[in-house]
Amino acid sequence: MSELTRIPAPDGVAPAAQYSHVVMGTGRLVAIAGQLPLDEQGRPVGAGDPATQARQVFENLRRCLAAAGASFDDVVKLTYFVTDTAHLPAIRAARAAYIPDDRLPAASAVRVAGLVRPECLLEIEAFAVVAG
C-alpha cells in the first residue's frame, strides 16, 4: 500500500468537513474531491447563477490542483454533478478559461436531485496524473 498525503484545506479553499480536498499517493494519481461554488470562508457564491458558480468551482479546482503540484494540464477526468443539465453550457464556458479545447480530459455529467448544499447548482470532481 502506498503512503498518502492529505491536504484538507488548500490555500484559498474552505476547510473540508469529514474529507480531504486533495489526496496524493506516492504514485502519480491525484484525486480532487467534488468542489462546490464556495468562497474561501465556505460561503456559497452566485445564488441561482450557474455561470458564476461554475467559475468559482473551477477556481477551487485550480487551487486544489496547485496544492498537489498539478495543474489543469494534468487533469485526466472531470465529473460534473448538476441539478439541471441546462447548466452544462455555463460549465463548459467556465472550463474553457482553464482547459483549452485541445487538452480536454475525459468527463462525465450526472444530473442529481440536489447537492449537499441546496443553494449549489453544481459540483465538480477531478482526477489528475502528475509526471514523476
For residue 2, pLDDT over 70 is answered with: no
Q: What is the per-residue pLDDT across 12-50, written as a single tens digit (0 to 9) for each? A: 999 876 567 876 655 679 999 999 999 999 999 999 999
Residues 6+ apart with CB under 8 A from 101: none
Calpha distance 95→86 (Å, rounded): 15
CA angle (18, 122, 126) in 5-degree steps: 65
Grid cell for residue 113: 436531485
pLDDT at res. 5: 61
Q: What is the per-residue pLDDT across 40-99, written as a single tens digit (0 to 9) for each? A: 999 999 999 999 999 999 999 999 999 999 999 888 889 999 999 999 999 999 999 999
Q: 99 near 75, Cβ under 8 Å?
A: yes
pLDDT at res. 1: 36
How many beta carbons lie within 10 A of that of residue 47, not counting itself? 11
The domains of the chain are located at 4-129
For residue 8, pLDDT over 50 is answered with: yes
Could you tell me which CATH number the domain at 4-129 has? 3.30.1330.40
The two counts, helices (H) then strands (E), for the chain are 2, 6
Calpha distance 39→85 (Å, rounded): 23
Grid cell for residue 100: 483549452
pTM: 0.86
pLDDT at res. 23: 63
Grid cell for residue 35: 468542489
